[in-house]
Amino acid sequence: MAGPHASQSAQTQSGLSSEALEIAERLHDNGISVPVLSGSVRLTDLMLICGTGILSAWTDAGATDFTLTHIIALAGAMLFSLAFFQAADAYQVSVMRRGMSQFGRIAAGWTLVFGMFFLIKTMTGFGQSLPQPWLGAWFVMALGSLVCFRMLIYRRVRHWMKIGRLERRAIIVGGGTAAAELIHEIEGQSENDIRICGIFDDRASDRSPSVVAGYPKLGNIAALVEFARLARIDMLIVCIPLRAEKRVLELLQRLWILPVDIRLSAHTDKVRFRDRGTSFIGTVPFVDVLEKPITDWDMVAKRVFDVVFASLALVLLLPVIIGAAIAVKTTSKGPILFRQKRYGFNNEIVEVLKFRSMFTEMADPDAKKVVTKNDARVTPVGRFIRKTSIDELPQLVNVLAGNLSLVGPRPHAVNAHTDNTTWDNVVDGYFARHKVKPGVTGWAQINGWRGEVDTSEKIRKRVEFDVYYIENWSILFDLKILFLTPFRLMNTENAY
């Protein structure tokens, strides 16, 4: 999709009302991913079942030596329990927030597991050698552990539901009668997890009232972009007739830079769509336009990837890091590290660490002047560590702290510019590169787009490669970039 025609600078000038700011502040906390929650509960159930099966063998009642038959019984119990718990909807958030109902489902499911053992033993004879005391001890210990764990889950889920962290936070784009009808339909769905946080619409009050179905209109579309930078919003629901194609496209061009799911409400349209996914909230149909990148288990996998490889890199590169620190400190006055404010995820400002490469009195933390070839501000040691990218190594600490990712779009300085024009005014859709965490290395850098940005074409190419990375992300893609980085850094033509 083409980039937006309005720059972020122009958008933020609109400002937000005090009501919108108050709501954004309440929605600042991250939500909890339902797939990750249910997956984590499944994993914990399996660990409890396996752990209590092994532990029960050590009790006086179930004392036994483990054999292959015991191991098969453990594996079978985990498989059957997952199937029975799933059939009982025990991994649905709506069930997890209930007390006795949840405990009853778990107890019934676990009892059915042992019923399957008895059935298999009767019909095939398999498991005749399993000691009854061990099975009894395992049944009691596992049931007690599962119920205690579910008691904890019950309390946590109710707390998270109360503070809104287990709901999908949605903004309605567009007001009037169509928005009111959509809100009533969504709220009428059983077990609905959508929390409507407000309405944004460009139209005047005569066509779009200030309150729709009990929800306030918080501003126009420009204000929505600013609001989504402050609040943790999961979804934008565009409630505009799909036949108003021009207006829909204009809105999408302005909203696609945000790291959120974008859905077109199709509840009043009977239209067939090609090349688009569809989804439902209950019986309300939506057209899936854009998906939020790197969510749920992908986000967990990427974080584990970052922590593992950043820790490994710190250990392996420790001699280089110590050597660079000594060289910087002993060859020029000033601190070893240089701190600079840069754009992070969703335009948040993060403080990025680097080895200081300039003379202290000439340092430029606000990036008012780009570094050029033979720049007099750069120290002799700084010139070497910039060419080899050794100056970037302290950013591994940023990765472990969670401010950066190991691989992603490089974080640009807040005031980065070319020909006195900030980059968000040079490239339409520039801020789309901030839909994921920035990285120490990235797809643009290993394709040669690093170093001085002295032309508009260079920053356009960087953004093009960054957006390609976001749209095609995978762990294997990250591994490829990480593997190629040391080899591509040998090309120092544009690094100075």
Model pLDDT, residue 36: 92
Task: Compute the distance between CA of residue 220 and CA of residue 241 in angstroms, rounded to an integer.
Answer: 18
Structure token digits, residue 185: 């339909």
Model pLDDT, residue 106: 94
Task: Compute the distance between CA of residue 159 and CA of residue 263 in angstroms, rounded to an integer.
Answer: 28
Count CB-CB contacts under 10 A for residue 430: 25
Residue 66 reports pLDDT greater than 70: yes
Residue 95 reports pLDDT greater than 80: yes
CATH class belonging to 8-31+166-292: alpha beta
Mean pLDDT in residue range 155-173: 88
pTM: 0.77
Residue 3 reports pLDDT greater than 70: no
Q: Which range (135-149, 163-177, 181-195) has the least confidence?
A: 181-195
Residue 326 phi/psi, 5-degree rounding, is -65, -45
Nearest 10 degrees: Cα torsion 346, 347, 349, 350: 50
Helix axes 221-230, 245-255, angle to 10 degrees: 30
- 414 to each of 201, 265, 343, how far by Cα in Å? 29, 36, 6
Structure token digits, residue 96: 């997890």
pLDDT band at 5 (very low <50, low <70, confident <90, very high): very low
Residue 262 phi/psi, 5-degree rounding, is -120, 125
Query: How much of the chain, in percent, has pLDDT values that exceed 90?
Result: 34
Model pLDDT, residue 478: 95
Strands 277-281 and 284-290: antiparallel
Give 324-375 as a DSSP string: HHHHHHHHSSS-SEEEEEEE-GGG-EEEEEEE--B-GGG--TT--S---TT-
pLDDT of 439-450, one tens digit each?
Answer: 999 999 888 887
Residue 64 reports pLDDT greater than 70: no
Average pLDDT score over the chain: 84
Q: Can you give the residue ranges of every domain in the chain? A: 8-31+166-292, 34-162, 297-488
With tokens 């190991």, the residue in question is: 406
Model pLDDT, residue 242: 64
pLDDT of 324-352, one tens digit each?
Answer: 999 999 998 989 999 988 888 888 889 99
Residue 349 phi/psi, 5-degree rounding, is -90, 125
Task: Compute the distance between CA of residue 70 and CA of residue 188 in angstroms, rounded to an integer.
Answer: 50
Residue of 76, 88, 79 whose CA lies nearest to 120: 76
Strands (E), 363-412: 405-407
pLDDT of 430-485, one tens digit each?
Answer: 888 888 999 999 999 888 887 667 678 888 888 899 999 999 999 999 999 999 99
- 41 to each of 5, 32, 90, 148, 426, how far by Cα in Å? 45, 13, 10, 13, 47
